[in-house]
Amino acid sequence: MLQSVSKIRIKAILLKYFSKFKGKKRMTPLVSPAPLDIFISLLGSLIGISILSLLLLVYKIPILAAPLGASVVLVFWVSDAPLSQPRNVILGHTISAAIGVMTYQLWGMSWWSVAIGTSTAILGMVLTKTTHPPGGATALLAILSAAEPSYIFTPILAGSLILILIGVLVNNLSPNRNYPRYWY
């Protein structure tokens, strides 16, 4: 009797768990941004990546890292999102870079150091309320590329600051935007 009750309970728990996979019906339609905002987002993206690329290729300043490309999406295309605000972009990347570099310096590159460093960086962002999804990639890249401590400052901190500066200048060209929503 007790065994059949346990089986029924396990079955109910599993059914409830797997029913979450269905998702829910969308209550609001997807909306497209205004044409002017699309143009401004495109302009900001082009300027931001162009400046970082020019500094890298022309002046040999190591200012471009792949996670900054993901930040471009957030800063210019979803600039109202909490994770797109300057505090999150700058500190999320910088904290993650520091944790990634420290992880590599302590344990080198292995499957477990990559997992620990990336997860710890995400934890660091959550605890400091600076979550910025590309920060996970920043930590991951630091470990995989055997980054030196200078990685924290260039490309990560400097690149983040440049993107925020361009974000402030370009996003506010739109009458529909106010970037940033908050600084801290």
Q: Report d(CA 171, CA 67) in Å as an integer.
A: 20
177: in domain: no
77-134 pLDDT per residue, tens: 999 999 999 999 999 999 999 999 999 999 999 999 999 999 999 999 999 999 999 9
55: helix, coil or strand? Answer: helix
159 contacts: CB under 8 Å, gap ≥ 6? 52, 63, 64, 65, 68, 93
pLDDT band for 184, please (50, 70, 90 cuts).
confident
Q: Is residue 5 part of a domain?
A: no
Q: Considering only CA atoms, which of 83, 64, 68, 98 is closest in space to residue 133?
A: 83
**How many whole angstroms separate alpha carbon 99 and alpha carbon 119?**
10
Q: Residue 60 pLDDT more than 90?
A: no
